Amino acid sequence: MEKRRKTALIPVGIGMALAGGLVFAQMRSGSYGSTNAASIGQGAAPVFAPDAKYDVGAYPSFTPELAEGEGKLEVQSFCATCHSTRYITMQPPLPGATWEAEVAKMMKVYGAPVPEAAAKKITAYLQGHYAPENRKE
């Protein structure tokens, strides 16, 4: 019985070897894949308006300076530990309550090691320099 099973597997092995050889030969000749791959249709290129401006300029590689004021040192010391101060300067002008919530989120959710006294200074600084009523562009 064992010999019969081995004899039956020989043609299967030979068939698999032939199939593998054919696939390998096809790949070596470069004729694998779709026969019409070169004729895949492409959409027409978009038409650009002649009076439009498509250049937005280079991405700035410098970090913008924070506004001068009480609390700037704390912002640089504690906030820049985890992220660039660009995260502050690139925000739209945010209301004071939002800045307070952001500072609380950094401490509670992300675990920023900011003492409570420094957190109050940071919040006051952000509210005083990056809120809609006093943001200097």
Could you read off the pLDDT of 65-96 as tens digits, one per residue?
899 999 999 999 999 999 999 999 988 999 99
Mean pLDDT rounded to a whole number for the chain: 83
Helix then strand count (H, E) for the chain reads 5, 0
Q: Using CA atoms of 14, 19, 25, 30 in order, give the dihedral in degrees to the nearest 10.
A: -170
The residues of the chain scoring below 70 in pLDDT are 1, 30-42, 54-57, 60, 136-137
**Whole-prediction pTM:** 0.55
